[in-house]
Amino acid sequence: MSTQTTEIAGYLSGSWQIDPVHTEISFLIRHMMISKVRGRFDRFEGTIVTAADPLQSTATASIDLTSINTSNDMRDNHIRSADFFDVENHPTMTFVSTAVRPAGDGFELDGELTLRGVTKPLTLAVEINGFGPDGRGGTRAGFSASGKIDRTDFGVSYNGPIPGGGSVLSDSVTLNIEVEAVLQP
């Protein structure tokens, strides 16, 4: 894909605040090696800056780990504990982008993810869903992103064996992000 903004339909440069009402940050992890458990975070904030040259754009996000929601209070409380997120000492997870590059029909967004005080590189596959007016005279943009992390890289190593082999949780966690953002004046 060319990096010229005219080839991204309706592309607008500017600073965009993530709209938490119309955004979802979720994850998926294998459980018992036979199923997948999904969850999301209910509180977060972030900014996307779309530059005149899309490859100079940036994104930052801060996620409140206490807002974990897997639709099971007992599991959510365990994930908040020192076995997993250790929210008493590390209440937030952050992402700061470092580069953008074209990839197929979309882009790849490189960045640094910090979880439990450990910072590691993370690449997200990004799709630009569009730019357009909202019903209140403002302008909105939509993006989809996904990536994978190894949770043990961040010190999230709690697990248990399964009789006959395997473990309760996979090390690989898939992140899925659906963003709607509002152009700032």
The closest alpha carbon to 92, from 119, 112, 64, 120, belongs to 64
pTM: 0.91
Q: Is residue 165 scored above 80 in pLDDT?
A: no
Report how far apart, in Å, the C-alpha atoms of 99 and of each of 36, 38, 164 are: 31, 28, 44
Residues 150-163: pLDDT tens digits? 999 999 888 877 78
Element (H, E) at 112: strand 106-115
Comparison of pLDDT for 4 and 110, the residue scoring more: 110
Is there a contact between 152 and 145 (Cβ–Cβ < 8 Å)? Answer: no
**Section 19-40 average pLDDT:** 92
With tokens 């199923």, the residue in question is 35
Q: Is residue 3 scored above 50 in pLDDT?
A: no
Instruction: Give the pLDDT confidence score for residue 9 in this predicted structure.
Output: 84
Contacts of 62 (CB under 8 A, 6+ apart): 44, 45, 46, 92, 93, 94
Burial 148-157 (b: 16+ CB within 10 A, else e): ebebeebebe
Percent of the chain whose predicted confidence (pLDDT) is above 90: 78
Q: How many CB atoms lie within 10 A of CB 92?
A: 17
Grade residue 125 by pLDDT with cuts at 50, 70 and 90.
Answer: very high
Element (H, E) at 138: none
Comparison of pLDDT for 168 and 91, the residue scoring more: 91
Comparison of pLDDT for 119 and 136, the residue scoring more: 119
Report how far apart, in Å, the C-alpha atoms of 66 and of each of 27, 35, 41, 46 are: 15, 24, 8, 17
Is there a contact between 175 and 146 (Cβ–Cβ < 8 Å)? Answer: yes
Instruction: Give the pLDDT confidence score for residue 5 in this predicted structure.
Output: 46
Handedness of CA 82, 47, 52, 137 (dihedral sign): positive
Q: Is residue 118 scored above 80 in pLDDT?
A: yes
Is 5-183 assigned to CATH 2.40.128.110? Answer: yes
**Section 114-132 average pLDDT:** 97
Q: Is residue 128 scored above 80 in pLDDT?
A: yes
Grade residue 4 by pLDDT with cuts at 50, 70 and 90.
Answer: very low
DSSP state of 21: G
118 beta partners: 115
DSSP letters spanning 32-65: TTTEEEEEEES-EEEEEEE-SSGGG-EEEEEEEG
**Domain definitions of the chain by residue range:** 5-183
Grade residue 181 by pLDDT with cuts at 50, 70 and 90.
Answer: very high
